[in-house]
């Protein structure tokens, strides 16, 4: 079994995001970055699958971006990924191009399963897994909260607006992770140190024969602010009174 886990570098969600005055980009100079939390869940699940299968599983973490994105690959290695691959891409690709690059990696590496986050918490698009499955003509199971191997495939519980849905998919497949799937482990100090020394393969887009085809152009960014100011009430009685007046 070979599992490909795409990993994205995103700003730490606990930080306040500011935008350049010209609206061109967020101010990232002093922001801490980390592995997208949904991708960490995907790495964790891959490691658990390998543990269940007595080790005969290879986990390949892949990211797309600049050299600094190696940090997130090292996080994945420290958590237990076997190999890591950086696809160097200097402009941040949109979801369509991320999916096209991942398709090229998938065709080269031939995994049985692509396990990835349902969304990246920076752009919140929730598109890449579905695009990739469509491009590969593979089945997909999005928003997974439980995975079980069954004959010739996977049984997946999916978090939907209506409730928990169960599907089976044949392999190879694309599965995207939801929060309830697992709680990612903290890497031990030894594995962090070991991951620092591991080598990371690098490709450029030309190696993968991918030329970017931009689809989603971001023209401008602005921060949003709450215009509300809180009026304090001191008792349940007063709150009920205010609600009545406001809604009459």
Near ligand FAD in 163-192, by CB under 6 A: 179
Considering beta carbons, is residue 129 or 184 the nearer one to another protein?
Answer: 129
The least CB distance from residue 214 to another protein, in Å, is 6
184 interacts with another protein by CB under 8 A: no
Q: Which of 37, 65, 93, 95 binds ligand FAD (CB under 6 A)?
A: 37
The least CB distance from residue 13 to ligand FAD, in Å, is 6
211 interacts with another protein by CB under 8 A: no
DSSP 13: T
- Only one residue has tokens 């919140």, namely 124
Q: Which helix (H) or strand (E) holds 201?
A: strand 201-204
CB 121 within 8 A of CB 8: no
17 CB contacts (<8 Å, ≥6 apart)? 11, 26, 31, 223
What's the rounded Cα separation, in Å, for the pair 95 and 159?
22
182 interacts with another protein by CB under 8 A: no
Q: Which of 6, 65, 80, 95 binds another protein (CB under 8 A)?
A: 95
Near another protein in 61-80, by CB under 8 A: none
Q: Which helix (H) or strand (E) holds 241?
A: helix 236-247
**Residue 33: which of ligand FAD, another protein, none does it interact with, CB under 5 to 8 A by kind?**
none
117 interacts with ligand FAD by CB under 6 A: no
**Residue 70: which of ligand FAD, another protein, none does it interact with, CB under 5 to 8 A by kind?**
none
What's the rounded Cα separation, in Å, for the pair 81 and 185?
13
Buried b (16+ CB within 10 A) or exposed e, 217-244: eeeeeeeeeeeeeeeeeeeeeeeeeeee
141 interacts with another protein by CB under 8 A: yes
**Residue 54: which of ligand FAD, another protein, none does it interact with, CB under 5 to 8 A by kind?**
none
121 interacts with ligand FAD by CB under 6 A: yes
- Work out the number of other CB atoms within 10 angstroms of the CB of residue 178: 19
């Amino acid at each position: 079994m070979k599992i490909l886990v795409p990993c994205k570098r995103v700003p730490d969600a606990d930080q306040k995001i500011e935008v350049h005055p010209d609206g061109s980009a967020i101010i990232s100079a002093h922001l801490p970055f980390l592995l997208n939390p949904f991708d960490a869940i995907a790495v964790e699940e891959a490691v658990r699958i390998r543990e269940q299968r007595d080790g005969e599983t290879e986990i390949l973490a892949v990211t797309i971006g600049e050299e600094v994105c190696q940090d997130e690959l090292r996080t994945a290695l420290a958590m237990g990924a076997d190999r890591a691959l950086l696809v160097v891409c200097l402009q941040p690709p949109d979801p369509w191009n991320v999916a096209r690059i991942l398709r090229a990696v998938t065709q080269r590496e031939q995994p049985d399963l692509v396990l990835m986050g349902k969304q990246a918490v920076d752009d919140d698009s929730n598109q890449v897994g579905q695009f990739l499955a469509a491009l590969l003509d593979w089945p997909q199971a999005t928003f997974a909260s439980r995975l079980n191997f069954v004959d010739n495939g996977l049984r997946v519980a999916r978090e939907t607006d209506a409730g928990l849905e169960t599907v089976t998919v044949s392999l190879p497949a694309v599965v995207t992770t939801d929060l309830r799937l697992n709680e990612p482990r903290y890497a031990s100090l030894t594995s962090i140190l070991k991951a620092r020394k591991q080598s990371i393969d690098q490709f450029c887009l030309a190696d993968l024969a991918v030329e970017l085809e931009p689809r989603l152009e971001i023209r401008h960014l602005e921060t949003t602010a709450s215009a509300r100011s809180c009026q304090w009430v001191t008792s349940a009685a007063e709150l009920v009174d205010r609600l009545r007046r406001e809604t009459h």
